[in-house]
Every structure is written in structure tokens, then in C-alpha cells.
Amino acid sequence: FHLGMFEIGKPLGKGKFGRVYLARTRSTGFVCALKVLHKSELQQGKVEKQVRREIEIQSNLAHPNVLRLYGHFHDSKRIFLILEFAGRGELYKHLRKAGKFAEPLAAQYIAQMASALKYLHKKHVIHRDIKPENILVGLHGEIKISDFGWSVHAPNNRRKTMCGTLDYLPPEMIRPGREENWYDEKVDLWSLGVLAYEFLVGEAPFEDTPVMTQRRIARGEMTIPTNLSAEARDLIKRLLVLDPEKRLALEEVERHPWILRHCV
């Protein structure tokens, strides 16, 4: 279908609240990913306010490792999001295909994530949902965090758990001790540790049945394979700390020996 200024190409993915298409502007040939949300579905899902808030947040973000939302518009039935096109698609597909990443590549990805998270936290944005399924890869192999909060994943070998995977939840969300504002930005540090582990090992550190996963997260029960370098193990151990206050800060991640060794 054509949409005035856009030529629409192949579908890039589909989620609960919308489909994403490759698109190009007729005038300048600018390539983007056009996401179409149906207002009726948003109303049914009672997520219009959340979508407006997400649009507001994402429109103000500009970082090489955060997927851009260039703009949005709507007609009577649909909302259109003009998103950055990531030339090499979804990171989780690369991870599943490779099984796991070599330490140099994993370190580069973690360094880029730390840089993106530092930027988001400085703008008081907490991602809360960091996992391979929410990361895209740009044309030059750089990663781009996106928030697929809207999509339930088609069965194509994404995690099978119904409510989205528990694997990345930090202990303070499993066992909410301090009810108020347990969503502080340190939840992203825990998830960064889970991500590093999954990049290097090929599975999440607490992966188990849902009940066991929750118990293992709450107790911080995981084993790091001994074939990882000492530095990689050290970084994972310093992020997967039960007490949010004791987790390695992003600045310290960026200057950790494991990162410095692999990132020019």
C-alpha cells in the first residue's frame, strides 16, 4: 500500500500492537521502518496513554545505540511511527544463529549498551526491558536498543514463556522489598549482566522453569562457565549483585579490564 509520501516495502516484523514495514520517502528516498498501530487495538489494550508517553520519550532521544523515532503521524484509524531502519535486523536472530558470541564481539556490544544506558539514565529514562529481543543491529554492526514492549513475539524461536521472559528481571522486582520506586535505573545494570552472560554462554544465567527462575534470581543462584576469561567472569559477577546499590556503575563498566581489552 502507498501512504502519500512513503513507498512501503516488505514487512520487517510484527508485534501485538503493530506491524513494521520497510519504507522510503518518495521525495528523498530516505529509508526507515514504518510502524503502524491501530487505534482500536490500543484502546482495547488500554495502552493509548502509554503509547503517547513512549512516543514523547523516544522522540527526544538521539544516541547512536538507541533506535531513533524520527516522528509520527496518524489518520482516523491508525498511528504511524517513523522509526530508524536497522540494516542488519534483530540481534537475537544473530545470537541464536551463532549460539554465542566471541568475547571481543560481546565486549563491544556491552560497551555500546553501557554507553546507551548512560545516555538514557542521564535523561531519567529507565529501559526496564533489556534483552536480545529488544536490540537491533545497524548497517555497520553497531547495536541499537529498541523497546518492543508492544510486541508479543511470534513463535519464531523467541522465548516461549507466556508473559515475556522472566530471565532478565532483577531480584528487587521478583521480591519487591521496597514497594515504591523499585524501578530505579539499577534494574538496567542487572539486565546488562544477564545480557553479557547470555552473549557469552548462549543462554540466560537463571534460565529454568518460571518458578525456579524466580527462585534462582531472588537468590542470585547461577554458575559462570569456567571457560570464560577471568575478566568476563569478573564483570558478570559485579553486575549480577542482589543489592542494587552494590552493582557496578556504568562508568565502571566502560573502564572495566574486559571492556578495555577488547574495545579499541
**Binding interface with ligand N15 (CB under 6 A):** 12-13, 15, 20, 33, 35, 51, 54-55, 58, 69, 81, 83-86, 89, 136, 146-148
Annotated catalytic residue 75: no
Closer of 127 and 247 to ligand N15 (Cβ): 127
Write down the least CB distance from residue 156 to ligand N15, Å.
12
Rounded CA-CA distance 144/140 in Å is: 11
Smallest gap from Cβ 154 to ligand N15, in A, equals: 12
From the CB of 77, what's the least distance to ligand N15, in Å? 17
Q: Given the complex with ligand N15, which of 89 and 202 has the nearer CB atom? A: 89
Rounded Cα distance between 14 and 164, Å, is 16
Residue 11 CB, nearest distance to ligand N15 (Å)?
A: 9
Using the minimum distance from each CB to ligand N15, give the nearer residue, 69 or 195.
69
Q: What is the separation, in whole angstroms, between the first and last Cα of the chain?
A: 45
Give the nearer residue to ligand N15 in terms of CB position, either 52 or 261.
52
Instruction: Pick between residue 165 and residue 213 the one whose CB is nearest to ligand N15.
Output: 165
Q: Which residue is nearest to ligand N15 (CB)?
A: 89
Instruction: Kindly state the smallest distance separating residue 237's Cβ from ligand N15, in Å.
Output: 32
Annotated catalytic sites, by residue? 129
